[in-house]
Structure 1
Amino acid sequence: MAEIHPSAVIEDGARIAETAKIGPYCVVGANVDLGENVVLESHVVVTGHTSVGEGTHIFPFASIGHQPQDLKYAGEHTTLEIGKNNRIREHVTMNPGTAGGGGVTRVGDNGLFMMSSHVGHDCLVGDNVILANNATLGGHVELADHVILGGLSAVRQWTRIGTGAIVGGMTGVEFDVIPFGSVIGDRAKLAGLNLVGLKRKEVPREQIHALRAAYKELFDQEEGTLRSRAEALAARSENQPLVKIVTDFILNKDDRRFCTPRSGE
């Protein structure tokens, strides 16, 4: 049997692994699935059609799986899927999807969601992401793997942030952020590459040099459009895997706007 504090409320139908631990005054809804070694500290609420993967640790006063903050939501059956080995700190909120957004909010593995961060409806969050205190994702946001959001940052709905990118504290992100990009400002501007993150991951020096050259070609000239420059770069960069990730991200959709450096910077 799972280790469940006597004061916890477990609704009939909840599926709880034998190695899970549920602390004082937690509430677990009827349609919740808690995996092996999941830990709920005191005063955690997990509800809705929510699954929590093995080894995830949720701290006091987190609100997980309550209905989306979307006026169009009409009580339809939608889900929240949380992966393995996440740390979900105090007062974090995560909402399920909506019918208009695919019906699922999905969080990957090994994430750190610091105090009062928010994952809105229909978001798709990759592995090894970090949301610092009070970082906020609007609905339908896509975060790729290894993204870091600084404290008090906010990402507008329908925005994509590519793998390995970093968002500075108190930054408002309105447009897509390229993979490995670094953005800052009250409305995010592209401020270079996330070189610190690349070095921490021990990316080979020659790949970093290739990325820096690609960045200059994409953003340090005015000839043509960003898309045309990305197409030209892609045509001769098939042997540069990180550059290809950036060009694929830009060329993936033709109706997107991107964070770019401000004029003269």
Structure 2
Amino acid sequence: MAAAPSQAVLFIILLHIFYIFAPSHQYHPLDSLTPSEFSQIRSIVTKAYPESSTHNLTFQYVGLEEPSKQTVISWLKNETTTNPPRQAFVIARIDHQTHELIVDLSLQEITSKRIYSGYGYPMFTFEDQENADKLAFTYPPFVASIRRRGLKLEEVVCESFSVGWYGEEEEEGKNNKRIVKVMCYYMNGTVNLFMRPIEGISMTVDLDEMKIIGFQDRVTVPVPKADETEFRESKIKPPFRQSLKEITVVQPDGPSFTIDGHMIR
């Protein structure tokens, strides 16, 4: 379950490689943020909201704050004019609150901030989900339920899912938490874990407190067998379905478009 940090590092490395080897192109106000701009944004926000043992900050979303349509049209009419300011829209969780920030990369500062208090929460991060999934394995009632079913704890995999929101009004201090439902599966002979759910057990986790706030073991249901759950081509055994007839799509004169950076012409 410790794959999230390595995935994030790999993603950043791939972004850097892309920008190093991608062909140069003319600047456009709607160009995506670059790796160096992401680094600038992180520095600006963490400087404004320094982390500490009592001050928690996580980035839930970072993207380009697009200039207005009229600004882009004016720039296209005269590309020699000053480029529109590069800005980013950031959604961050800071001390259990959702903050919406506008970061100006030219001014190197946050130019707009507000706390979102409506329904719903930002998307999960890898860390949110992985940390929630890990809680089950140190939770005694869950461990006891797995052993009672005669299952091997080391073959259990858990995944977290949004509990959703269905339009109900929230009461003060109730149902206003960032909660996920954790469901678990049994591998032991297959990699197709979703074919072997461990039924009857349900858990809910408060992501801000990062603790299990609900647990039920309602009924014991036999786990489906691992037989014939394999989907990897190298592991599938005959009989196979009849092969499809070949199809070929060609453009002898090449494509009818060109790609210039992020622009398709």
TM range (shorter): under 0.3
Instruction: Calculate the TM-score normalised by the size of structure 2.
Output: 0.22
Instruction: Calculate the TM-score normalised by the size of structure 1.
Output: 0.22
Q: Which has the larger radius of gyration?
A: 2
Structure in which a larger fraction of residues adopt helix = 2
Higher relative contact order (CA 8 A, sep 6+): 2
